[in-house]
C-alpha cells in the first residue's frame, strides 16, 4: 500500500494506440500507392519504415536510453516519409531520408515531442537537395500490386506548371474522367499523395477517433481552393488543384502533426490558412510545381508564435476582480446581439423583396432552412463530434438553401428571377454561424431561436407588404392606397422601412420585458 | 424544442462504478472502540482542545474550540473517556493533534435545542451552524459559516445545492437524496433562510434518476427551488463547473462564487444544517461509501466521526485481494493511504479499495503535445505548458498561466496518452506559487 495522491484512473489512450490509429488511417493511401505504382512503391515503403525504426533503435542504443521505438512514432514517420517520395527512388535515398528524419530532425532536437519541423517533410527537403534527380523522377501508374514497371511520367502539377492548366485538363478527355482519375489517384505523383479519396477516408477515420481536429485540414483545403478560384475563376481549376499534388496528404497527415502544429483551435485555423496560401503561391508563381512541403515547413517555424498569440481565455479570466453583474460575466449572448445580427441578416432580403410575394417566398425559405437545419443537427447531435457541429450546421444550412433555391426556381420562375441569389445567403449565414458557435459552447440558445427566426420572417413579410402598399399602392393587384411613395420600393427605402419596423418592435419588446424580469437576470 | 442538457466546457466521461453501491441503503456502522477525532478536520486553523486526558465526554459535547475566524469547533461522536491527546498524521502531508476517546458504549448524548427556522434571524441560524461545527461535506471541508456569510458589497441571488457526486464509486449524496429527500429539502430551506433569498437549484447528474425523482417530489411544493439534471461528465461537481452549467455564469479567475451572486453547498451539508438547526445535532456522524473492486461487500455506512477506516473495511467484509490500494476520498481527488488507522473525518466521503494495478506510476515520460489535457481541462488551462515549467522565472510564468485557477480535478493526468502525471506536477507548482505569494505578502 502506498501513500500518494491520485488520480487512480487512466483513460485507455496511450501514445502507441494513437500511432496505431494513424497507421490504420494511412493504410488506404498505402494500399492505393502500392496498387498504382507496383512493387517499387511497396519496397520504398518497406525500406523507409525499416530504416526509421532501425535508426530509432540505434539512436537510443548509442545514447544508452530506454528504447522508445515501441511507441510507434518511428513507424508512422517512416510511412509518411515513404508517402512523400516518388515510387521508384533507390533504396539509399530511402535510408538517407530515414536517417535525416529520425536522427537529425527528431533525435538531435530532443526526441519525440521536441522537434520543431515535421520529420517526414524536413527529410524530403533534405533529399530534394541531396538527390534532386531521384526526387523528381515520377512514374506512370501501373494498376497492379505485383508489377515491376516504372516508366517515367510527369505529375499533374508539373504539367500544369509547364503547359498550363487548360492543356492539362484537355489531355485527360472529359472533365468527369479527369476528376475521377484525380480522386482515386490514377496519376503520377508521390506514393501516398495520389489518391485523394483514400486520404480523405483516412482523415475522417482520424477525426472520428479524435486524433486530429477538423480545423487544420478544412482551413488548408479551403484556402487553397479559394485561391485557385480567385486566380482561375472556374470551379474546374479549383477541383484540379485541390485533388492534385500533396495538398490532401499534407492537410490530413502532415499539417496535423501534434508536435509541430499549433495547439489551440484558432491557431490551427491560422496554420491551415498559412499552409494553403504558401502552397498555392508556390504552385502558381514559384519555380517548384508543388508547394505543400514548403508551406507546411514554413508554418512549422511559426507555430510557437501562433501558439503564443492564440491562447484561448481560460474559464473566468477577467481583468478586474471587483464584483461584476452576472450578465457581463456570463458567456450567454444577450438578446441585443441576436437583434443586431438578425437585422444585419435581413438587409439583403429586404432590399430584394420589393413586394409581399417576394417577401413571403424568401421568408418561408429562411424559416424552412432554419427548421430543417436544426432539426437535422438536433437528431444527429449524438453522432456529431462537438467540434464538428458548427461546420456541420453551416454545411447543412448551405445544402438546404441550395435545395430551396432550386425548388423556388422550378416552382416560381418569374418571381425567383427577380430576386438575386445572394440575398438568400446573408440571413441564413449569419445567425446560423452565430448559433452554431453558441451550441458548441454548450449554452441554451435555441429555446428562443425559432421565435427569433419567426420574428425575422414576420418582419420581412411586413416590410414587403408595407413596401408594396406604400410603393405601388396595390396589394396582390388590388388597389389599396391612392398616394404612392415609389421611393419605398428602392433599396434605401427598403432599409429605412426595416429600421422603422425594428425600432417599433424593439420598443414594444422592451416595454413588455421590463415587467417580466426576475431579480438578477439579464435585462 | 432544442433543449440541451446543461454542461460545461472540457471534462471527461469516467466509468461511474456507482452500481457497486448505489442500491445499498445507508447502514449504521458499528461504533468504534476508540474514536480518534482530529482537531484539524476542516480548511483553516486547527481547533483548540478543551478537554483533558481522563475527562469523561458525552456524544455531541464540544471537545475542540474554534481558533480564529477560519476555523470550526469539533465535537465528540461517542461517549466515553479521553485517553490521549497527541499528534497524528493525516492523509497527505498534514499533521494534527487528535483526541483519542475510549468508547463506553453508553452513547450518552448532549445535543443542542432545536430552532424554528421559518422565522428565525439569519444570524441566529448562522451562529447555530457555527456551533455545530458544520463544514462543507463535499470534500473541501470549508467552514460553512464563512461560506454562508456574504461579504458586504456582494449580492447573492441563488443558492446552488450540489448533488452531482461526479467522482466514481461514491454514492453518498445519491443515497441521502433517495432516502432522506424531505430532510434535505428542509435543509435547503434553512440555507435559503440564512442567506435571505428565495431561489435555489439542486443540481444532480442525469443518470441518478431515483435521486432526481425523490428530490423533485420533496420540493414539489417549493416554487423557487428547482431540480436540474446535469450532463454526466467529470468534474460536474466542481464548484465553478457546476455554476457554469446551472446558471451559465463564470466565476472570475481568482474569484469566489459570491462574485457572481451564487453560493454553493453540498447536499450532505444541507442535511447536516437541517439536523443542526431543527434537531440540535452537531456534526458527529456522516455517511461514507465504502466501495471498490477489492472490497467484499460495498456499502454506504453512517459512520461516527473518528472511526478508524479499518473498522469500516471490516464491516464491509474486508479486502479481497492481496495487493490493494486504499484511497480515502474518491479515486480522482482522494489520497491513497498506507495504514488503516486513519480516522474518518468530516471531509471523508468515501473509502475506495482498488486492485493494485490501478495505480498509475509515471516514469520518464515525454509530452507529445497532443493537446488532450488542454481539451479536457474544465478551467481551460494549459497543463502541457504548466508541467514543463522549470528554472528561474517559474513562479511568474506559472501565475501567467493561471495555475492558481486549477481546481485539482486530475483530468489532465487521466487523458494524457504519454502517461504523464500532470495533475501531480501542477499541484506542486500551485503549492510553490502559493508559498511564494505568502512570502511576498501578496493578496
Q: Other CB atoms closer than 10 Å to residue A447's CB: what's the count?
A: 11
Position A384 pLDDT exceeds 90? no
Contact check, Cβ <8 Å, A315/B378: yes
Q: Which of residues 193-252 of B touch A (CB under 8 A)?
A: 199, 240, 244-245, 247-252
- Interface with chain B: mutation pick from A2, A3, A8, highest number of B CBs within 10 Å: A8
Q: Percentage of chain B with pLDDT > 70?
A: 96
> Could you say which residues from 211 to 270 on chain A have a Cβ atom under 8 Å away from some Cβ of chain B?
258-259, 263-264
Q: Average of pLDDT values for B430-435?
A: 85
Q: How close B373 comes to chain A (CA, Å)? A: 11
- Chain B residues closer than 8 Å to A331 by CB: 248, 250
Which region holds residue B154: left if phi is over 0, alpha if psi is between -120 and 50, else beta? beta
Q: For residue A324, what pLDDT is reported?
A: 36
In chain B, the residue whose alpha carbon lies closest to the alpha carbon of A376 is B2
Tell me the three cell numbers of residue A102.
Answer: 529520425
Q: A277: which 3 cell numbers?
A: 496560401
Residue A444: the pLDDT is 46
Answer whether A326 sits within 8 Å of B366, measured CB to CB.
no
Beta carbons within 10 angstroms of residue B28's beta carbon: 11
Between CA B343 and CA B345 the distance in angstroms is 6
Q: What gap in Å lies between CA A500 and CA A467, rounded to an integer?
A: 12
Listed in sequence order, the residues at least 6 apart from A240 whose beta carbon sits closer than 8 Å to its beta carbon are A156, A160, A165, A168, A169, A178, A182, A228
Spatial CB neighbours of B337, under 8 Å, sequence gap ≥ 6: A1, A3, B91, B309, B326, B327, B328
| Predicted pLDDT at A332 | 46
Let me know: does B304 contact B29? Beta carbons within 8 Å: yes
| pLDDT-wise least confident of A329-338, A401-410, B125-134, B302-311 | A329-338
Least Cα distance to B31 among B439, B357, B305 occurs for: B305
Q: What residues 152-211 of chain A have any CB closer than 8 A to a CB of chain B? A: none
> Taking the CA atoms of chain B, what radius of gyration do you get in angstroms?
21
pLDDT tier at A335 (50, 70, 90 boundaries)?
Answer: very low
| B185-238 pLDDT tens trace | 999 999 999 999 999 999 999 899 999 999 999 999 988 999 999 999 989 999
Residues 6+ apart with CB under 8 A from B1: A446, A447, A450
What ipTM did this prediction achieve? 0.79
What confidence tens digit (pLDDT) does each residue in B32-88 have? 999 999 999 988 889 999 999 999 999 999 999 998 888 999 999 999 999 999 999
Q: Are B134 and B202 in contact (CB under 8 A)?
A: no
Mean pLDDT of all residues in B295-299:
93
Tell me whether residues A323 and B333 touch, CB distance under 8 A: no
- DSSP code, position B342: P
| Average confidence (pLDDT) over B361-386 | 82
User: By CB neighbour count within 10 A (0-12 exposed, 13-18 middle, 19+ buried), where does B240 fall?
Assistant: buried
pTM across the whole model: 0.72
| Residue B337 in contact with partner chain A when CB distance is under 8 A | yes
| DSSP for residue A100 | I
Residue of A nearest to B199 (CA): A519
Contact map slice: B 356-395 vs A, CB within 8 A? 358-360, 364, 366-372, 374, 378-382, 384
What is the band of A500 on the pLDDT scale with cuts at 50, 70, 90? Answer: confident
- The pLDDT score that the predictor gives to residue B47 is 92
d(CA A323, CA B255): 9
Q: Is the dihedral of CA B316, B317, B320, B322 positive or negative?
A: positive
Number of Cβ within a 10 Å radius of residue A36? 26
* B145, B195 Cβ separation under 8 angstroms: no
In a mutational test of the B interface, the residue from A2, A3, A5, A313 whose CB has the highest number of chain B CBs within 10 Å is: A5
More confident residue, A328 or B51: B51
From A324, A330, A447, residue closest to B3, measured CB to CB: A447
What is the pLDDT confidence band of residue B172, given thresholds at 50, 70 and 90?
very high
User: How would you classify the pairing of strands B335-337 and B324-328?
Assistant: antiparallel
C-alpha to C-alpha distance for B303 and B345, rounded to whole angstroms: 10
Q: Are the beta carbons of A14 and B419 separated by less than 8 Å? A: yes
Return the pLDDT at A437: 57
Instruction: Name chain B contacts of A314, Cβ cutoff 8 Å.
Output: 253, 379-381, 402, 405
Q: How far is A339 from chain B (nearest CA, A)?
A: 20
Integer Cα distance of B413 and B365 in angstroms: 12
Distance of CA A302 to CAs A219, A268, B8, B205, B367, Å?
Answer: 16, 11, 32, 43, 20
The C-alpha cell that represents B89 in the structure block: 498524521
The mean of the pLDDT values for chain B is 88
A positions 329-358 inside 8 Å of B (CB): 329-332
Please list every residue in chain B whose beta carbon sits closer than 8 Å to the beta carbon of residue A329. Answer: 249-250, 252, 259-260
* Whole-number Å distance between alpha carbons of B217 and B223: 12
pLDDT in tens, A207-256: 999 899 999 999 999 999 988 888 877 777 888 888 888 899 999 999 99
> Residue A514 — pLDDT band, cuts 50, 70, 90?
low
Q: How confident is the model at residue A172 (pLDDT cuts 50, 70, 90)?
A: low
Largest CA distance in chain B: 68
Q: Is B331 on the interface with A (CB under 8 A)?
A: yes
Amino acid at each position: 500500500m502506498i501513500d500518494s495522491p491520485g488520480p487512480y484512473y487512466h483513460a485507455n489512450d496511450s501514445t502507441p494506440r494513437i500511432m496505431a490509429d494513424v497507421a490504420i488511417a494511412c493504410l488506404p493511401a498505402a494500399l492505393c500507392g502500392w496498387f498504382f505504382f507496383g512493387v517499387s512503391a511497396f519496397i520504398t515503403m518497406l525500406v523507409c519504415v525499416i530504416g526509421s525504426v532501425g535508426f530509432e533503435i540505434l539512436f537510443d542504443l548509442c545514447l544508452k536510453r530506454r528504447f522508445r521505438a515501441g511507441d510507434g512514432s518511428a513507424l508512422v514517420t517512416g510511412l509518411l516519409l515513404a508517402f512523400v517520395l516518388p515510387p521508384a527512388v533507390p533504396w539509399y535515398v530511402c535510408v538517407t531520408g530515414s536517417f535525416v528524419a529520425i536522427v537529425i530532425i527528431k533525435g538531435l532536437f530532443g526526441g519525440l515531442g521536441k522537434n520543431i519541423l515535421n520529420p517526414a517533410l524536413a527529410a524530403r527537403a533534405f533529399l530534394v537537395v541531396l538527390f534532386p534527380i531521384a526526387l523528381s523522377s515520377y512514374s506512370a501508374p501501373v494498376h497492379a500490386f505485383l508489377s515491376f514497371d516504372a516508366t517515367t511520367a510527369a505529375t499533374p502539377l508539373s504539367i500544369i506548371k509547364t503547359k498550363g492548366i487548360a492543356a492539362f485538363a484537355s489531355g485527360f478527355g472529359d472533365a468527369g474522367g479527369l476528376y475521377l482519375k484525380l480522386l482515386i489517384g490514377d496519376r503520377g505523383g508521390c506514393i501516398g499523395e495520389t489518391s485523394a479519396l483514400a486520404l480523405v477516408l483516412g482523415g475522417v477515420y482520424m477525426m472520428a477517433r479524435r486524433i486530429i481536429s477538423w480545423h487544420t485540414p478544412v482551413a488548408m483545403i479551403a484556402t487553397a481552393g479559394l485561391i485557385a478560384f480567385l486566380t482561375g475563376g472556374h470551379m474546374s481549376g479549383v477541383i484540379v488543384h485541390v485533388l492534385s499534388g500533396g495538398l490532401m496528404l499534407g492537410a490530413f497527415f502532415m499539417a496535423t502533426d501534434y508536435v509541430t502544429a499549433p495547439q489551440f483551435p484558432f491557431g490551427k485555423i491560422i496554420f491551415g490558412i498559412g499552409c494553403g496560401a504558401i502552397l498555392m503561391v508556390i504552385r502558381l508563381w514559384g519555380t517548384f510545381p508543388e508547394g505543400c512541403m514548403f508551406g507546411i515547413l514554413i508554418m512549422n517555424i511559426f507555430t510557437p508564435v501562433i501558439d503564443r498569440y492564440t491562447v484561448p481565455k481560460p474559464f473566468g479570466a477577467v481583468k478586474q476582480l471587483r464584483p461584476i453583474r452576472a450578465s457581463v460575466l456570463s458567456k450567454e449572448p444577450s438578446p441585443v446581439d441576436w437583434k443586431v445580427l438578425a437585422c444585419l441578416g435581413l438587409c439583403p432580403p429586404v432590399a430584394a423583396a420589393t413586394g409581399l410575394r417576394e417577401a413571403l417566398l424568401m421568408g418561408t425559405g429562411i424559416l424552412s432552412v432554419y427548421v430543417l437545419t436544426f432539426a437535422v443537427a438536433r437528431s444527429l447531435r449524438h453522432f456529431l463530434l462537438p467540434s464538428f457541429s458548427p461546420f456541420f450546421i453551416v454545411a447543412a444550412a448551405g445544402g438546404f438553401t441550395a435545395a430551396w433555391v432550386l425548388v423556388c426556381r422550378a416552382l416560381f420562375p418569374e418571381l425567383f428571377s427577380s430576386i438575386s441569389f445572394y440575398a438568400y445567403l446573408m440571413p441564413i449565414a449569419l445567425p446560423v454561424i452565430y448559433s452554431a458557435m453558441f451550441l458548441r459552447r454548450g449554452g441554451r440558445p435555441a429555446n428562443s431561436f425559432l421565435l427569433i427566426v419567426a420574428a425575422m420572417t414576420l418582419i420581412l413579410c411586413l416590410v414587403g407588404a408595407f413596401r408594396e402598399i406604400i410603393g405601388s399602392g396595390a396589394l396582390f393587384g388590388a388597389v389599396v392606397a391612392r398616394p404612392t411613395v415609389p421611393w419605398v420600393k428602392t433599396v434605401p427605402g427598403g432599409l429605412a422601412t426595416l429600421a422603422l419596423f425594428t425600432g417599433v418592435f424593439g420598443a414594444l419588446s422592451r416595454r413588455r420585458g421590463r415587467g417580466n424580469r426576475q431579480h438578477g437576470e439579464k435585462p | 424544442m432544442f433543449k440541451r442538457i446543461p454542461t460545461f466546457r472540457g471534462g471527461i466521461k469516467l466509468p461511474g462504478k456507482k452500481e457497486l453501491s448505489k442500491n445499498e441503503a445507508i447502514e449504521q456502522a458499528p461504533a468504534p472502540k476508540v474514536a480518534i477525532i482530529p482537531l484539524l478536520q476542516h480548511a483553516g486553523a486547527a481547533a483548540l482542545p478543551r478537554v483533558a486526558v481522563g475527562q469523561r465526554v458525552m456524544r455531541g459535547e464540544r471537545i475542540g474550540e474554534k481558533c480564529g475566524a477560519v476555523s470550526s469547533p469539533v465535537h465528540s461522536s461517542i461517549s466515553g473517556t479521553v485517553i490521549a491527546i497527541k499528534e497524528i498524521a493525516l492523509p497527505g502531508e498534514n499533521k494534527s493533534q487528535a483526541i483519542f476517546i475510549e468508547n463506553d458504549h453508553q452513547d450518552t448524548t448532549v445535543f443542542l435545542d432545536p430552532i424554528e427556522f421559518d422565522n428565525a434571524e439569519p444570524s441566529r441560524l448562522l451562529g447555530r451552524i457555527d456551533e455545530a461545527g458544520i463544514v462543507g461535506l463535499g470534500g473541501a471541508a470549508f467552514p460553512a459559516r464563512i461560506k454562508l456569510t456574504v461579504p458586504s458589497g456582494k449580492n447573492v441571488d441563488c443558492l446552488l445545492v450540489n448533488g452531482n457526486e461526479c467522482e466514481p464509486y461514491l454514492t453518498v449524496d445519491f443515497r441521502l437524496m433517495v432516502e432522506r429527500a424531505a430532510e434535505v429539502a428542509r435543509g435547503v430551506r434553512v440555507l435559503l433562510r440564512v442567506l435571505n433569498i428565495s431561489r435555489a437549484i439542486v443540481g444532480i447528474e442525469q443518470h441518478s434518476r431515483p435521486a432526481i425523482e425523490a428530490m423533485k417530489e420533496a420540493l414539489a411544493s417549493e416554487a423557487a427551488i428547482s431540480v436540474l439534471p446535469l450532463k454526466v461528465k467529470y468534474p460536474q461537481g466542481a464548484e465553478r463547473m457546476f455554476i457554469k452549467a446551472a446558471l451559465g455564469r463564470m466565476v472570475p479567475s481568482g474569484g469566489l462564487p459570491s462574485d457572481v451572486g451564487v453560493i454553493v453547498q453540498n447536499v450532505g451539508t444541507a442535511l447536516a444544517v437541517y439536523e443542526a438547526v431543527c434537531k440540535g445535532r452537531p456534526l458527529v456522524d456522516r455517511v461514507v461509501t465504502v466501495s471498490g473492486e477489492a472490497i467484499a461487500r460495498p456499502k454506504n455506512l453512517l459512520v461516527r466521526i473518528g472511526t478508524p477506516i479499518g473498522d469500516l473495511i471490516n464491516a464491509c467484509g474486508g479486502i479481497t485481494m492481496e495487493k490493494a490500494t486504499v484511497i480515502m476520498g474518491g479515486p480522482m481527488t482522494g489520497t491513497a493511504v498506507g495504514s488503516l488507522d486513519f480516522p474518518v473525518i468530516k471531509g471523508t466521503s468515501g473509502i475506495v479499495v482498488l486492485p493494485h494495478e490501478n495505480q498509475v506510476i509515471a516514469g520518464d515520460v515525454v509530452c507529445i503535445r497532443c493537446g488532450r489535457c488542454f481539451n479536457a481541462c474544465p478551467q481551460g488551462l494549459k497543463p502541457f505548458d504548466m508541467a514543463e515549467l522549470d528554472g528561474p522565472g517559474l513562479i511568474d510564468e506559472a501565475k501567467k498561466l493561471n495555475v492558481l485557477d486549477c481546481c485539482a480535478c486530475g483530468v489532465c493526468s487521466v487523458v494524457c496518452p504519454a502517461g504523464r502525471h500532470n495533475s501531480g506536477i501542477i499541484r506542486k507548482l500551485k503549492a510553490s506559487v502559493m508559498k511564494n505569494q505568502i512570502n511576498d505578502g501578496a493578496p
